[in-house]
Amino acid sequence: LLMAYDPARRLAKLQVQLDRAVVNAQMIYALLDMQPAQREMAGAKDLVVDKARVELKNVVFSYGSGNPILRGVDLVAEGGQTTALVGPSGAGKSTIISLIPRFYDPAEGAILIDGQNIAEVTKSSLRHQLAYVSQQPYLFEGTIRDNIRYGRPEATDAEVEEAARLAYAHDFILAQPLGYETPVGENGMSLSGGQRQRLSIARALVRNAPILLLDEATSALDNESEAAVQKALDTAMRGRTVIVIAHRLSTVVKADKIIVMHEGRVMEEGTHEVLAQRKDGLYARLNNLQLPVRDLS
Ligand code: ATP
């Protein structure tokens, strides 16, 4: 029985990973306005952003006709603050992130930005307010400059370089023989994991959007790259509304608010200090089991 079970389980897991990779790539395209959004309402108005406060109200969602994945989620990500989503695998964290650019629409409930239902605004105005940094940084065929400029096609060369500086990428770019004109992507030069991450952060920064959706990497980089990526992320997060799927204790501890998810519901919310005190709470238990975070040692 075990022998029959194991490969099937591995296959199921692989399938989920493949689905995720596709979703992530589609998210990137979606945020670059290359992917059609869910249908736009007739007479939709442009989203007007002030504080960039994001609110989910009783959001219910399932993929196709499958099991409900979000079972009535209420949460608020305050403007200019960092809200960390934590919880076991499958809790629905990535799903929440993919509803915000309207990659999918909730079956029930609503998502509001500064009080406006995102289903009722133009998709371009919605997506202009969003930037996304995924776990796997995608590089497209083209030069380093092109890859950063994907974040905002009308960005000037100076803006591209400023974003690269802020993402701690400028120096390693200049160290390439062709600098910003160096080809990357499948047939281009190979970049380290940390360099790819910093390019994707530069791409998000050049968008200069008030809301940053961040899927923190789970795989460790070497210490030096890790430090550079962390500094780049700190810059990207400053002054923005950040919703982060957090995998590091340092991110969770620093967050203004932690949302603890389990099986499509919000179980607890609060700061690290408060939640860690609730000894019978899910957060304290996850913390002890080292489930949501990897650098507890
Ligand atoms: P993880 O930490 O493992 O990424 P998560 O909390 O982000 O987990 P989700 O990725 O939102 O959880 O997944 C919640 C559930 O939805 C899981 O059961 C997952 O298999 C399923 N799921 C996710 N994406 C899809 C998809 N594109 N199609 C069908 N089911 C999906």
Report the predicted TM-score, pTM, of the whole model to 2 decimal places: 0.85
Least confident of 39-53, 59-73, 166-180, 274-288: 274-288
Question: Buried b vs exposed e over 210-248: b needs ≥16 C-beta within 10 Å?
Answer: bbbbbbbbeeebeeebbebbbebbebbbeebbbbbbbbb
Of ligand 1's listed atoms, the one at least distance from the Cα of 91 is 6
Residue 106 has pLDDT above 60, yes or no: yes
For the chain, the distance separating the N- and C-terminal CA atoms, rounded to the nearest angstrom, is 37
**Pocket residues: Cβ below 6 A from ligand 1:** 16, 19, 23, 63, 69, 87, 89-95
**169 phi and psi, to 5 degrees?**
-115, -20
The pLDDT-based confidence of 295 (bands split at 50, 70, 90) is very low
Q: Give me the pLDDT at residue 21, please.
A: 53
Supply the mean pLDDT for the chain.
84
Q: How far apart are CA 191 and CA 140, in angstroms?
A: 13
Mean per-residue pLDDT, 72-77: 98
Residue 3 has pLDDT above 50, yes or no: no
Strand partners, 268: 260
Contact 82, 237 (CB under 8 A): yes
Q: Give me the pLDDT at residue 279, please.
A: 82
Q: What is the residue with the minimal CA distance to atom 28 of ligand 1?
A: 63
Q: Give me the pLDDT at residue 182, please.
A: 93
Tokens representing residue 40 in the block: 């736009």
Tokens representing residue 275 in the block: 């939640």
Q: List pLDDT tens digits, range 248-293.
A: 888 899 999 999 999 999 999 999 999 988 888 888 888 765 544 4
Could you tell me which residues come within 8 angstroms of residue 290 by beta carbon, excluding any fewer than 6 positions away? 296
Which residue bears the tokens 């062709």?
Answer: 178
Tokens representing residue 35 in the block: 């992917």
Q: How far apart are the CA of 92 and the centre of ligand 1, in A?
A: 6
Q: How far apart are CA 6 and CA 204, in angstroms?
A: 40
Q: List pLDDT tens digits, range 191-247.
A: 888 898 899 999 999 999 999 999 887 766 777 778 888 899 999 999 999 999 998
Mean per-residue pLDDT, 102-109: 92
Among 19, 85, 213, name the best residue to mutate to test ligand 1's pocket (greatest count of ligand atoms within 8 A of Cβ). Answer: 19
- Please give the residue that has the higher pLDDT: either 114 or 1: 114
Cα-Cα-Cα-Cα torsion 208, 152, 194, 229, nearest 10 degrees, comes to: 0
Among 17, 63, 73, 104, name the best residue to mutate to test ligand 1's pocket (greatest count of ligand atoms within 8 A of Cβ). Answer: 63
The pLDDT-based confidence of 5 (bands split at 50, 70, 90) is very low
Residue 55 has pLDDT above 90, yes or no: yes
Q: Give me the pLDDT at residue 32, please.
A: 57
Q: Give me the pLDDT at residue 142, please.
A: 87
Q: Give me the pLDDT at residue 35, please.
A: 52
Q: List pLDDT tens digits, range 123-167.
A: 889 989 999 888 778 788 889 999 999 888 899 999 999 999 999
What percentage of the chain's residues is helix, strand, coil (to nearest 5)?
A: 40, 20, 40
The pLDDT-based confidence of 119 (bands split at 50, 70, 90) is very high
Residue 63 has pLDDT above 70, yes or no: yes
Residue 187 has pLDDT above 90, yes or no: no
Percent of the chain with pLDDT over 70: 82
Tokens representing residue 289 in the block: 């089991």
